[in-house]
Structure 1
Amino acid sequence: MTLKKAAKIGRRAGLLALVCLVAAMATIPGPARARYASIVIDAGTGDVLHEVNANTRNYPASLTKMMTLYLAFEALQSGRLEAKQALNVSWRAARMPASRLGLKRGQTISVENAILALVTKSANDAAVVLAEALAGSEGGFARRMTKKAAALGMTRTRFRNASGLHDRRQLSTARDMAMLARALIVDFPQFYRYFSAKSFRYKGRTYRNHNKLLKSYSGTDGLKTGYTRASGYNLATSTVRNGRRLIAVVFGGKTARARDRHMASLLDKGFAMPVVIRGIASKVPASKPANLATTTAQASVPSPPPAKPAAPLAEGDAPPGPPESKPKQTQVTARAPISLLPPGMHHVPTPAKTAGVRTERAPKNNGRRVTEAARQLARTGSWGVQVGAFYSLSPARKAAHDAAERLPGILGDTQVVIPLVQGVQGPLYRARLMGLSKTKARTACRRLKSLEIDCLVVQSKDGVKLALNDQPAN
């Protein structure tokens, strides 16, 4: 064989090997892409008010630090850490890339300062300091993080580090991060306040919180931003208005500004949706729910001041005061919880439009679920009674349930429905018991009036637009 011929065969063999290598690499599953995903939940009820790609696994980026903080709060609560305790800065922690405080090997930082550094500056070096203090190594701490995620029901989440720096094996979902946010609020109301810090001063420098919604969106009190090239711009936030807390998560924003605008839009839509109470027991008062509705009222969300009910309003009436221009109302009702959701979460189908962030269509079966809910209400009756209109949610809930307890044997499969009318004077919550026939609604109203409870017979003219599921109020 000539040298020239041998070289030609060698080139062909090399080309064949390259083709095989490329083909083999094509069969290897790649990491998750930075896809848009979002979810909005009512923290008090677990209702899912909006979701798009909520179960899609994405890179959490610095939302990972929420779990680092969860474990730090757990250690503070148990006494394994103290807020003023000095933690050593290791060689590994000092070498972490930005974002960072610039800690040096051999220095110390207090637990509280490390926590504030994570919340505001999103400092990767401080995250490693906490991880090593709690588990001896960042790898060991990441295993604890994943174990805790599983315990919280975050079944599609895996952690590989404490900071959120890119690792193709570190994945989570919008739903899982919403569950983590809710757990932080419920489990550590005494430490959750750290997330409200708008700035943090350390060694003569002031670090401002990356979460701009703390200033730009009224009622926002936490949680965390995140960004890597692979993840896009992520955000988990918690906002309280009129005693109602919403938690929202966005993955894959194109820019920080677009992400923040989109988050504000999702929250606006969420707060415009009424709160609805799931089926009423005809004789036994509703049991106390073991969820955030109780815990938050006691520790995390300031209870609204007692509100005097306005006069009962008929359908379409405006609240007392100056005339309003066409108040917009969304009427919703509740049926049994939709399955296949994590514990404590219920699905509320709703169409989603996004601004400034790429979106994908919601699952097609959402419309069928809403239609079925409408048919169910039609079968049970579209009439009901209204027992008051209030300027905050809590007294509306209480009035509806107090009325329900006075009507044993009449309500049956009735639902408490609290529509929200938004006018120039602010929100107005209408306390109603819906799902009755016209005859039963009149009977119920007569019974209530005999007990000196004002009421009106009302009819749901527009049918059901959304299906909500909620826990009974106390």
Structure 2
Amino acid sequence: MRGLIVLLCVAMLAGCQSAETGSSPELAAAPAAAAEPILPLQPVPAVAHRAYASIVVDGKTGKILEEDDATSPRYPASLTKMMTLYLVFEQLSSGRWTPQTALTVSAEAASRPPAKLGVRAGSTIPVDTAVRALAVRSANDVAVVIAENIAGSEDAFARRMTAKARALGMSRTSFVNASGLPDDRQYTTARDIAILGKALHDRFPQYFKYFSTREISYGGRTWKNTNKLLTKVDGVNGIKTGYIRDSGFNLCASVERDGKHIIAVVLGGKSGASRNAQMEKLIEEYLPQASGGSIFGF
């Protein structure tokens, strides 16, 4: 009997280790109704600077089609704003906000460094404009506006972001700000970003179109979307780019073509051009391998 108990314990431990190392052939995300846990403080892992990682996931089945160092910690940079927008979309879906809801701009938010929209302290900005500012301009000042209007402070909002990440199954992600500005305590993985990208696509189809917005005008200036593949690669319909010095050039892309759908992530590109080229290569190689038709098989 004692030997049987030991064998059972070993089997359970092996199962836990398999999940932790990401060896599952499918991208696992928690159900939409998963509770947001109270999170204990976690030790900050060693994050490789400007190191490459990638993953390609079948957008319909969650099957992983390709991965390269996809569970190693990386800095998300402005891919952080994907989670910021996830929480905005929850506000909109619940009816707590509408696209016309006016968000108040604090001096703290207005002081954030570029990239920014240039909102002024004491002014307001509609939710619709704020969402476009994040999706297109990747505006750090507007990210803080959103954080403060949802949670009262950016710190409190970041705790919500991390709790939501855990609820979605993003087990190796920690957020400490809403923008992705440099902070050693803020990290993620290519796999976790793919989970988030798929959740945004699947759970908020009515708002996902924001990620394909081509440009935004504000204060007499116009900016084009930082995701250049929107106009270059057939089927790309989002979602987000990111860059800080320690992350390199990041991109999460959604591609729908010929009845197939993939979510692809490239982290640690040496330049915007090389990152985009690698993403194009992954799209053309792995999109044909994705499942065709609808998820119901007809």
The normalised TM-score by structure 2 is: 0.83
* 2:202 aligned residue: 186
Corresponding letter in the other structure for 2:70: A
CA distance in 2, matches of 1:119, 1:133: 18
Q: Which structure 2 residues correspond to residues 99-110 of structure 1 after superposition, within 5 A? A: 99-110=115-126
* 1:206 aligned residue: 222
Q: CA offsets per residue over residues 173-214 of structure 1, 9 Å max, x none?
A: 000000000000111001001001011122322111000000
* 1:156 aligned residue: 172
* 1:167 aligned residue: 183
* 2:259 aligned residue: 243
Q: Identity percentage over the alignment?
A: 51
Corresponding letter in the other structure for 2:110: A
Structure of greater relative contact order (alpha carbons < 8 Å, 6+ residues apart): 2
CA distance in 2, matches of 1:274, 1:263: 16
Q: Which structure 2 residues correspond to residues 284-299 of structure 1 after superposition, within 5 A? A: none
- Describe the SS at the equivalent of 1:51: strand
* 2:142 aligned residue: 126
Corresponding letter in the other structure for 1:120: V
* 1:88 aligned residue: 104
Q: CA offsets per residue over residues 82-104 of structure 1, 9 Å max, x none?
A: 11111111011011001001111
Q: Which structure 2 residues correspond to residues 277-356 of structure 1 after superposition, within 5 A? A: none
- Describe the SS at the equivalent of 1:216: coil
CA distance in 2, matches of 1:195, 1:246: 15
Instruction: Return 5+ residue gaps in structure 2 as ranges.
Output: 1-43
In 2 relative to 1, CA 111–204 (structure 1 residues): closer, same or farther, beyond 3 Å?
A: same
CA distance in 1, matches of 2:289, 2:109: 45
Length, aligned pairs only: 255
* 1:44 aligned residue: 60
Q: Could you say what the CA RMSD is over the residues aligned between the two structures, in angstroms?
A: 1.5
- Describe the SS at the equivalent of 2:149: helix
Q: CA offsets per residue over residues 145-175 of structure 1, 9 Å max, x none?
A: 0000000000000000000001101000000
CA contact (8 A) 1:131 1:138 kept: yes
CA contact (8 A) 1:31 1:169 kept: no
CA distance in 2, matches of 1:244, 1:77: 27
2:287 corresponds, among 261, 265, 271, to 271
* 2:13 aligned residue: none
* 1:257 aligned residue: 273
CA distance in 1, matches of 2:218, 2:249: 26
**Between Structure 1 and Structure 2, whose CA radius of gyration is higher?**
1
Measured after TM superposition, the shift of residue 273 of structure 1 is 2.1
The normalised TM-score by structure 1 is: 0.52
* 1:197 aligned residue: 213
* 1:33 aligned residue: 49
* 1:473 aligned residue: 297
CA distance in 2, matches of 1:95, 1:32: 29
